[in-house]
Structure 1
Amino acid sequence: MSAYKRVQQWSTFGRMWYLYDAKWQNPLHSANKIKHYLTGTHKPIYHPLSDCGDHVVVINARDIALPGNEWEKRVYFHHTGYPGGATWTLAWELHQKDPTMIIRKAVYNQLDKNLLRRGRMEKLHLFADDQIPESILQNVSSQLTQLRPTPTRLDHYTEEERLQFPKVFDWPKEHVIR
């Protein structure tokens, strides 16, 4: 086997580490994208009965964005296994307790319901902010693109960029706010 074939085979069968920034992303849509990398469906050697998925490191889980009024309407269910142990928690309460739990539950529900699901969830690494331990950061080799671009805050634009921005209406000079 040539050296090129060995490298090609290693990159096919080796586990890659991907970085995904969840800032201003819908966790339900992000979970669908993360699922493809955890299961390995993006690889040519994918088989549903084999665990050939990659590691995914998700940062900024605290800054996710749910659409509309889903913070107040979406409910997460948990049962302890004992009689009367059912609890329903609103999304904003769950996010306040653990900022990574909404993405964890979204990815868990997206994965196939089989015996490989727990092993695939172990390859998901979630962080509430962008502070990643060096032991994990040194393994990251690639970054996944965000599903929607992160908007820039208005106070992060320079004065030149604000003045050059196209105007919808041509206001009189006395009404311009500086």
Structure 2
Amino acid sequence: MSSFSRSAQQWATFARSWFLIDARMQPPGKIASMCSVRLQGKHKPIYHALSDCGDHVVVINSRHIAFSGNKWEQKVYSSHTGYPGGFKQVTAAQLHHKDPKAIVKLAVYGMLPRNLHRRTMMQRLHIFSDDALPDDIRANLTEELQQPRAIPRKLSEYTPEEVEAFPRLWTPYVNPDTSLVCRKHLQVVVCWGLSYHRRTSAIGCVLY
């Protein structure tokens, strides 16, 4: 029995597995780093830079990737056709609107080593803009990798109990006679660790 287990482990090590990664609400750089490790085979004990021992990686929901800040408009992708006047630049938003798979593909391509194995590794990368997979690829999947970042929940996804239990930033003064909030007696508001008096025009403080 032990010999069978060892042979099965050896077969699993040398075989090409199929990993599934969900790119919904994930930064392309984090997805590319996970794909690069699996495509090169760095997660295997038999890895060598000159050996092609990587696995297949299937990326779904590439249409729903997320950038931080204003990178959709600030990040620029450049290309050149090789002819005079063939230099072109497009923003990340324009490229993503034209091809939802291009940003993830370029991110993974940039993280792979610059050698003759690069094109072979890219052939094992399968990117889909949504969660619909062909039956032949779905049948080969062996493991789904955890997303690098947790997806924040929307306000509509919170239950009323969680909303009521959420800590308050400040407590307004309530007139004991009328049981109404008195605007003239609002005290100092502590917002994001900074103290602001009422009528403060600083960013991040709500005026009352």
Q: TM-score, normalised on structure 1?
A: 0.90
Letter in 1 for 2:46: I
Matched, 1:38 2:39: yes
CA RMSD of aligned residues (A): 1.9
Post-superposition CA distance 1:94-124 (Å, at most 9, x none): 0000111101000001100011011101111
> Is 1:97 paired with 2:98?
yes
* CA-to-aligned-CA distance 1:54-83 (integer Å, 9 cap, x gap): 111111111111121211111111222323
String of CA shifts for 1:12-50, please: whole Å, max 9, x gaps: 001111111111211122211210011000100001111
Higher mean C-alpha deviation, range 103-112 or range 2-11:
2-11
More RCO (CA 8 Å, sep 6+): 1
Give the whole-Å Cα distance in 1 for the aligned partners of 2:119 and 2:38.
15
Q: Which residue of 2 aligns with 1:79?
A: 80
2:85 partner letter: G
For the structure 1 residues 130 and 174, does the alpha-carbon distance in structure 2 shift closer, same or farther, using more than 3 Å as the test? farther
1:10/1:90 Cα in 2 relative to 1: closer, same or farther (>3 Å)? same
What residue is the counterpart of 1:47 in the other structure? 48
Instruction: Tell me the distance in 2 between the aligned counterparts of 1:115 and 1:85.
Output: 27
Task: Report the CA distance between 1:174 and its aligned residue.
Answer: 6.8
* Counterparts of 2:168 and 2:149, CA distance in 1: 25
SS of residue paired to 1:169: coil
One-letter amino acid matched to 2:154: R
CA distance in 2, matches of 1:89, 1:55: 30
When the two structures are superposed, what TM-score results if normalisation uses the length of structure 2? 0.78
Equivalence for 2:89: 88
Give the 3 Å change call, closer, same or farther, for CA 163–100 of structure 1 in structure 2: same
